[in-house]
Amino acid sequence: MALMTPEQYVESLRKLNLKVYLFGELIKNPVDHPIIRPSLNSVAKTYELAQMDEYKELMTAKSNLTGETVNRFCHLHQSTEDLKNKVKMQRLLGQKTAACFQRCVGMDAFNALYSTTYETDEKYGTDYHKNFIEYMKYVQRNDLTVDGAMTDPKGDRGLAPSEQQDPDLYLRIVERRKDGIIVRGAKAHQTGAVNSHEHLIMPTCSMREEDKDYAVAFSVPSDAPGVFMIYGRQSCDTRKLENSSIDVGNSTYGGHEALVVFDDVFVPNDRIFLCGEYDFAGVLVERFAGYHRQSYGGCKVGVGDVLIGAAALAADYNGVPKASHIKDKLIEMIHLNETLYSCGIACSTEGKKTKAGNYQIDLLLANICKQNVTRLPYEIARLAEDIAGGLMVTMPSEKDLNSPEIGKYVEKYLRGSSKVSTKNRMRVLRLIENMTLGTAAVGYRTESMHGAGSPQAQRIMISRQADLEQKKNLAKVIAKVDESEN
């Protein structure tokens, strides 16, 4: 079963004994919970499109491990064309869901671990790459959704993992056994964790010898003993409990983050991909971050396409589509959005083959891509709010619109263009609110800032990758600098 249908995906989650907490309570059925279900629908879309002939070129690929057709989210990139198709696929899914579809982190973790385990084995004679290949075959054959987990809670950011007052603030090995290891800690901000079959764990930063217990990479099922998840709150999330198709803004799709706790979890040897080789922790982080920063040149652009469309509709419904300043703002939104896409395609086109055989993006351009993502979606969102107008955040509810007593007044006074119903105007304004301020803002605006690392993290990588000395030498040649004269 190399490709699951969306129905099979949903049923596969029902079979898991997931331990999920929301609002302080253990959720008996996460799959059908009204707050969680929209985020599951977004993941299901990755399975649905892979079944459709018109999207198969983007949504599927031939596995280099099994020779079978697999979902691209389970694929190891074999060319720069694969890297570009990844970005195009992510844009498509952003357009279809206007939300985070959650499988990108696992895909990026696969590709970072594939090359890193190969090089770790090359230096230390370990079996991590063999373990990982077998794990990837399992993931591909079962078309699994995998939560790629890197970010630790971190505690005091000024201290290394081994220096923390509470040693569990970075996930660590607490016991080594002949048959595996016991780990304890947590992973924060985990995108789509509740909708995943597996957790694939990576270290979160470069490490020293004294941090070797924290230099660990492994995989466990999402319902492994000792694993539980605490669902993250989002702005306006309880609107999903109101059974309103208007007030949520995007009633079908969504995203989520969770705190995933590992309370003395056993990991068997064949599921371990790094275990104390601290000198490869930073390598893995750098590669994963590069792949994930490339991802934002696709997913955020697709969501941006929807937001631009919603802003243009708002202008129509407000009766001002021909106003010159409105046209100019929409042009600016398009310009900013396509700039992000250009960065995603550029870092893919300049990708190179790794020692392991899969392809890695150009790290400098990937970090440039994400640095732009920390800025441009904020301006796109600001312009959308400007075009929408203040009614976007002062509008009465759908219940008011449907009220026998006051509904006629809402209908009368909230109408814009006479060509458009009040209800449709409210739908579009709520969508913009959702994407710029509500639950979708977690997957668009705020995640644009902090997802795949903070802005400063990209600036550090840009500094490392930019080769400033080589640029100085270019200037010296042109200026005919003679250093013997110094």
Query: pLDDT of 328-372, one tens digit each?
Result: 999 999 999 999 999 999 999 999 999 999 999 999 999 999 999
Distance, CA of 65 to chain centre: 25
Q: In this model, does residue 26 exceed pLDDT 80? A: yes
Query: Which tokens hold the place of 50?
Result: 């892979």
Position 7 scores a pLDDT of 98
Q: Choosing from 74, 100, 343, 369, which is the catalytic residue? A: 100
pLDDT at 454 over 90: no
- For 91-105, 401-415, 447-461, 469-483, which range has the lowest pLDDT when averaged over its residues? 447-461
Task: Choose, from 128, 292, 341, 343, the residue flagged as catalytic.
Answer: 292
What is the per-residue pLDDT across 164-191, written as a single tens digit (0 to 9) for each? 999 999 999 999 999 999 999 999 999 9
User: Burial of 480 by CB count in 10 Å (0-12 exposed, 13-18 middle, 19+ buried)?
Assistant: exposed
Catalytic position from the list 191, 204, 354, 436 = 191
pLDDT of 62 > 90? The answer is yes
Beta strand 216-221 pairing with 352-353: unpaired
Whether 100 is catalytic = yes
Q: What pLDDT was estimated at residue 447?
A: 86
Does position 303 have pLDDT exceeding 70, yes or no?
Answer: yes
Query: Is it the case that residue 442 has pLDDT exceeding 80?
Result: no
**In the structure, what pLDDT confidence band is assigned to residue 18 with cuts at 50, 70 and 90?**
very high
| pLDDT score, position 1 | 64
**Residue 16's pLDDT is what?**
98
Instruction: Residue 38: name the closest of 125, 102, 112, 107 by CA.
Output: 102
Q: Examine the pLDDT at 441 and tell me if it is beyond 90.
A: no
Angle (CA) 35-38-39 rounded to 5° is: 95
- Among 74, 205, 275, 299, which one carries the catalytic annotation? 299
Identify the pLDDT of residue 210: 98
Choice among 104, 275, 343, 347 that is catalytic = 104
Which pTM does this prediction carry? Answer: 0.96
Catalytic hit among 198, 257, 385, 433: 257
Specify the pLDDT at position 439: 85
Q: What's the pLDDT at 244?
A: 94
Annotated active-site residue 296? The verdict is yes
**Each residue's pLDDT tens digit, 209-265:** 999 999 999 999 999 999 999 999 999 999 999 999 899 999 999 999 999 999 999
Is 257 in the active site?
A: yes
Let me know if 122 is a catalytic residue: no
Active site includes 104?
Answer: yes
Q: Is 292 a catalytic residue?
A: yes
227-231: strand order across its sheet: 25-26, 20-22, 227-231, 257-268, 180-191, 172-177
